[in-house]
Protein backbone atom coordinates (compact mmCIF):
# COMPACT_ATOMS: atom_id res chain seq x y z
CA UNK A 1 0.00 0.00 0.00
CA UNK A 2 1.25 3.45 -0.94
CA UNK A 3 0.07 6.40 1.09
CA UNK A 4 0.24 9.76 -0.66
CA UNK A 5 -0.04 13.10 1.11
CA UNK A 6 -3.04 15.13 0.04
CA UNK A 7 -2.13 18.12 -2.14
CA UNK A 8 -1.99 21.53 -0.49
CA UNK A 9 -2.77 24.70 -2.45
CA UNK A 10 -1.30 26.89 0.33
CA UNK A 11 -2.09 30.51 1.10
CA UNK A 12 -2.05 33.01 -1.74
CA UNK A 13 -0.51 36.47 -1.51
CA UNK A 14 -0.04 39.51 -3.74
CA UNK A 15 -1.59 42.92 -4.39
CA UNK A 16 -5.32 42.74 -4.92
CA UNK A 17 -5.97 46.24 -6.36
CA UNK A 18 -4.61 47.28 -9.77
CA UNK A 19 -5.41 49.88 -12.38
CA UNK A 20 -6.36 49.17 -15.98
CA UNK A 21 -3.01 48.71 -17.73
CA UNK A 22 -1.33 47.81 -14.44
CA UNK A 23 -0.18 44.46 -13.13
CA UNK A 24 0.42 42.45 -10.00
CA UNK A 25 1.68 38.96 -9.27
CA UNK A 26 0.06 36.46 -6.95
CA UNK A 27 2.36 33.98 -5.29
CA UNK A 28 2.04 30.75 -3.38
CA UNK A 29 4.58 29.18 -1.04
CA UNK A 30 3.91 25.76 -2.57
CA UNK A 31 4.75 24.48 -5.98
CA UNK A 32 3.35 22.21 -8.66
CA UNK A 33 0.10 24.06 -9.22
CA UNK A 34 -1.31 26.23 -11.96
CA UNK A 35 -3.19 29.53 -12.00
CA UNK A 36 -6.50 30.40 -13.63
CA UNK A 37 -8.77 33.47 -13.71
CA UNK A 38 -12.54 33.50 -13.36
CA UNK A 39 -12.72 36.47 -15.74
CA UNK A 40 -9.89 36.74 -18.27
CA UNK A 41 -11.53 39.77 -19.93
CA UNK A 42 -11.04 41.75 -16.69
CA UNK A 43 -7.76 40.25 -15.43
CA UNK A 44 -6.02 37.35 -17.14
CA UNK A 45 -3.33 35.47 -15.19
CA UNK A 46 -0.25 33.63 -16.43
CA UNK A 47 -0.93 29.97 -15.56
CA UNK A 48 2.63 29.29 -14.42
CA UNK A 49 3.93 32.59 -12.98
CA UNK A 50 0.82 34.14 -11.38
CA UNK A 51 1.38 37.44 -13.23
CA UNK A 52 -1.93 39.32 -13.60
CA UNK A 53 -2.73 42.12 -16.08
CA UNK A 54 -5.52 44.65 -15.56
CA UNK A 55 -7.57 44.77 -18.78
CA UNK A 56 -10.97 46.22 -17.77
CA UNK A 57 -12.65 47.51 -14.62
CA UNK A 58 -14.16 44.76 -12.49
CA UNK A 59 -13.21 41.84 -10.29
CA UNK A 60 -11.85 38.39 -11.01
CA UNK A 61 -11.10 35.47 -8.74
CA UNK A 62 -7.74 33.82 -9.23
CA UNK A 63 -7.50 30.13 -8.43
CA UNK A 64 -4.33 28.16 -7.73
CA UNK A 65 -4.92 24.45 -8.31
CA UNK A 66 -2.67 21.57 -7.28
CA UNK A 67 -3.72 18.32 -8.99
CA UNK A 68 -4.33 15.43 -6.63
CA UNK A 69 -2.90 11.98 -7.28
CA UNK A 70 -3.39 8.42 -6.06
CA UNK A 71 -7.06 9.02 -5.27
CA UNK A 72 -6.58 12.41 -3.61
CA UNK A 73 -8.78 15.28 -4.77
CA UNK A 74 -7.39 18.47 -6.28
CA UNK A 75 -6.56 21.26 -3.82
CA UNK A 76 -7.43 24.87 -4.63
CA UNK A 77 -6.88 28.30 -3.08
CA UNK A 78 -8.46 31.54 -4.31
CA UNK A 79 -7.77 35.26 -4.10
CA UNK A 80 -9.70 38.12 -5.70
CA UNK A 81 -8.22 40.99 -7.69
CA UNK A 82 -10.07 44.27 -8.35
CA UNK A 83 -9.21 46.26 -11.47
CA UNK A 84 -10.09 49.99 -11.39
CA UNK A 85 -10.39 52.54 -14.18
CA UNK A 86 -7.84 55.36 -13.93
CA UNK A 87 -9.18 58.77 -12.86
CA UNK A 88 -9.45 61.74 -15.19
CA UNK A 89 -8.84 65.37 -14.25
CA UNK A 90 -11.21 66.46 -17.02
CA UNK A 91 -11.03 69.58 -19.17
CA UNK A 92 -10.22 72.85 -17.41
CA UNK A 93 -11.78 76.21 -18.22
CA UNK A 94 -11.94 79.75 -16.84
CA UNK A 95 -10.60 83.24 -17.55
CA UNK A 96 -6.80 83.08 -17.72
CA UNK A 97 -6.09 86.84 -17.54
CA UNK A 98 -6.73 88.86 -14.40
CA UNK A 99 -5.39 92.01 -12.76
CA UNK A 100 -3.49 92.26 -9.49
CA UNK A 101 -6.27 92.21 -6.89
CA UNK A 102 -8.63 90.71 -9.47
CA UNK A 103 -10.31 87.33 -9.47
CA UNK A 104 -11.27 84.45 -11.73
CA UNK A 105 -12.55 80.92 -11.23
CA UNK A 106 -11.27 77.79 -12.92
CA UNK A 107 -13.52 74.76 -13.31
CA UNK A 108 -13.12 71.17 -14.46
CA UNK A 109 -15.55 68.90 -16.28
CA UNK A 110 -14.79 66.34 -13.52
CA UNK A 111 -15.76 66.87 -9.89
CA UNK A 112 -14.04 65.66 -6.73
CA UNK A 113 -10.53 67.03 -7.34
CA UNK A 114 -8.54 69.75 -5.62
CA UNK A 115 -6.79 72.86 -6.91
CA UNK A 116 -3.30 74.15 -6.16
CA UNK A 117 -1.18 77.08 -7.34
CA UNK A 118 2.34 76.62 -8.65
CA UNK A 119 3.23 80.16 -7.48
CA UNK A 120 1.18 81.60 -4.64
CA UNK A 121 3.26 84.80 -4.83
CA UNK A 122 1.57 85.50 -8.19
CA UNK A 123 -1.90 83.96 -7.71
CA UNK A 124 -3.66 81.89 -5.09
CA UNK A 125 -6.47 79.41 -5.71
CA UNK A 126 -9.09 77.97 -3.39
CA UNK A 127 -8.44 74.20 -3.24
CA UNK A 128 -12.15 73.36 -3.36
CA UNK A 129 -13.85 76.06 -5.45
CA UNK A 130 -11.13 76.99 -7.95
CA UNK A 131 -11.50 80.71 -7.09
CA UNK A 132 -8.30 82.56 -8.06
CA UNK A 133 -6.97 85.83 -6.61
CA UNK A 134 -4.29 87.86 -8.38
CA UNK A 135 -1.46 88.74 -5.96
CA UNK A 136 1.35 90.16 -8.15
CA UNK A 137 2.11 90.54 -11.85
CA UNK A 138 3.31 87.37 -13.58
CA UNK A 139 2.10 83.89 -14.50
CA UNK A 140 1.21 80.94 -12.32
CA UNK A 141 0.23 77.40 -13.21
CA UNK A 142 -2.89 76.09 -11.53
CA UNK A 143 -3.14 72.32 -11.12
CA UNK A 144 -6.33 70.29 -10.69
CA UNK A 145 -5.69 66.86 -9.17
CA UNK A 146 -8.11 63.94 -8.87
CA UNK A 147 -6.94 61.28 -6.44
CA UNK A 148 -6.49 57.80 -7.90
CA UNK A 149 -7.93 54.81 -6.08
CA UNK A 150 -7.72 51.06 -6.39
CA UNK A 151 -4.09 51.01 -7.44
CA UNK A 152 -4.45 53.88 -9.92
CA UNK A 153 -2.23 56.98 -9.83
CA UNK A 154 -3.58 60.49 -9.40
CA UNK A 155 -4.66 62.40 -12.51
CA UNK A 156 -3.76 66.07 -12.98
CA UNK A 157 -4.49 68.83 -15.48
CA UNK A 158 -3.01 72.33 -15.57
CA UNK A 159 -4.07 75.78 -16.73
CA UNK A 160 -2.03 78.97 -16.59
CA UNK A 161 -3.26 82.29 -15.24
CA UNK A 162 -1.58 85.58 -16.14
CA UNK A 163 -1.82 88.37 -13.60
CA UNK A 164 -1.35 91.86 -15.03
CA UNK A 165 -0.57 95.18 -13.39
CA UNK A 166 -3.54 97.56 -13.39
CA UNK A 167 -3.10 100.59 -15.62
CA UNK A 168 -2.30 103.92 -14.05
CA UNK A 169 -3.99 107.14 -15.12
CA UNK A 170 -0.92 109.02 -13.96
Whole-model pTM above 0.85?
A: no
Query: What is the Cα–Cα distance from 150 to 51, expressed in whole angstroms?
Result: 18
Q: Each residue of 98-135: pLDDT tens digit?
A: 999 999 999 999 999 999 999 999 999 999 999 999 99
45 neighbors 26 (Cβ within 8 angstroms) = yes
Region class of 151: left (phi > 0), else alpha (psi between -120 and 50), else beta? left
Amino acid sequence: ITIVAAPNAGTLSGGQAICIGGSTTFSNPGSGGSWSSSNGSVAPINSSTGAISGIAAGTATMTYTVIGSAGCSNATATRTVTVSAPPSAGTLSGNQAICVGGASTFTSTVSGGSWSSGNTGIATINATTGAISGVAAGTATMTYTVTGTGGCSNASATRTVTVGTPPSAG
